[in-house]
Amino acid sequence: MYQGCIKVRDMDPWRRKRRSFDNEEFLEGLEEELRKMEERLNRIFNEMPDIESGIMEHEPYIYGFSIRTGPGGKPTINEFGNIKMMGMEKNISEGREPLIDIIEGEEELTIVAELPGVEREDIKLRLEGNTLIIDVDREERRYYKRLPLPTNVEEGDMTYTYKNGILEVKLKRI
């Protein structure tokens, strides 16, 4: 009777075969990728606003966004900060745009805004038609937001609370 021996590594289907590669080819590819990365970074830095031009000399540049799932599973993107991306142009405002969330209820609309570092008496709220304007003007902090509302609201019926940097505005739906 014949008994044979089979090497386990020859039967292992997950064993990777060694590839031989040319070091020169690898280094050329790496060099090309680094060159592309440098071009992208130069383009990004060239598009940044010039701080020395005097625009918001003492303010940090802030840009961010939040993505939430809206009605019907449709994602909504909300931008905040003091730099708005409009296509390829940047629109820089003197006030930061707060991070805002809109909660649509059956009878009321609730707007939650993050306004850290301000006092309740510094917050000015007003309705202009179907737009809520949030305005805070302090020497240390400046916030400004014109928020188009997703539904019609009663102009005279607005209540708000402010605690620990969070503003909550409630508006009655029409």
The token duo for 67 is 């993505």
Task: Give the pLDDT of residue 173.
Answer: 92
| CA separation for the pair 135, 122 (Å, rounded) | 8
**42-62 average pLDDT score:** 63
Q: Output the pTM of the full model.
A: 0.53
The secondary element (H helix, E strand) that includes residue 109 is: strand 108-114
**If pLDDT is split at 50, 70 and 90, which confidence band does 1 have?**
very low
Domain ranges of the chain: 51-173
Task: Give the pLDDT of residue 147.
Answer: 92
Residue found by looking up tokens 């409009």 in the block? 86
User: What type of residue is 166?
Assistant: I
**If pLDDT is split at 50, 70 and 90, which confidence band does 43 have?**
confident
Candidate from 41-50, 52-61, 147-156 with smallest mean pLDDT: 52-61
- The percent of residues in the chain predicted with pLDDT above 90, rounded, is 34
| CA separation for the pair 174, 170 (Å, rounded) | 13
Candidate from 34-48, 119-133, 157-171 with smallest mean pLDDT: 34-48
Residue 89 pLDDT greater than 50, yes or no: no
Topology of domain 51-173 in CATH is: Immunoglobulin-like (2.60.40)
